[in-house]
Amino acid sequence: MIKSINVDGYIAGFPVEIQKRLEQIRATIRKAAPGAEEVISYGMPAFRAKRILVYFAGYIEHIGFYPTSSGIINFKDELSGYKTAKGSVQFPHDRPIPLRLIAEIVKFRVQENLINKKDKKH
């Protein structure tokens, strides 16, 4: 895949069906974190509000969602039906994307980011 400099270019590099899934996740994150900025980081789309909140990426078999380790730990029960690692989860293409869960995780990460910002001021 060609290295993209923006999220639109990144998504455009995938087959149409994967593009649709990536756009669904993108829209869900935007709604859950309306003040966050879209960026490309580590070659993947990401949203940040001072710090990175989440990343997501397209693959042939799944969508990777990277809410950091705290996002995985705090939603481990809800994510138990998916393949997870320390800071990532895989949403296979043969299953619906859990958009409500993604929104909850993003909102959690926004709140966590706000708390961390307050802690650093003291």
What pLDDT is stored for residue 81 in this prediction?
96
Q: How far is CA 33 from the centre of its chain?
A: 11
Give the DSSP H or E segment for 118. helix 99-121
Give the SS3 label for residue 78.
coil
Structure-model confidence comparison of residues 120 and 68, the more confident one: 68
> Given pLDDT bands bounded at 50, 70 and 90, which one contains residue 121?
very low
What pLDDT is stored for residue 114 in this prediction?
80
* CA distance linking residue 9 with residue 39, whole number of Å: 11
Whether the predicted pLDDT of 120 surpasses 70? no
What pLDDT is stored for residue 86 in this prediction?
95
* CA distance linking residue 60 with residue 74, whole number of Å: 27
Cβ-based burial of 64 (10 A; exposed 0-12, middle 13-18, buried ≥19): middle
Residues making up the chain, counted from first to last: 122
pLDDT tens profile 59-117: 999 999 999 999 999 999 999 999 999 999 999 999 999 999 999 999 999 999 887 65
pLDDT tens profile 39-57: 999 999 999 998 999 999 9
Question: What residue segments make up the domains of the chain, in order of their start?
Answer: 7-121
pTM for this prediction: 0.90
Q: Is CATH 3.90.1150.200 the classification given to domain 7-121?
A: yes
Closest by CA position to 102, among listed 16, 2, 32, 6 = 32
Rounded (10°) angle between helices 99-121 and 16-32: 40
Whether the predicted pLDDT of 122 surpasses 90? no
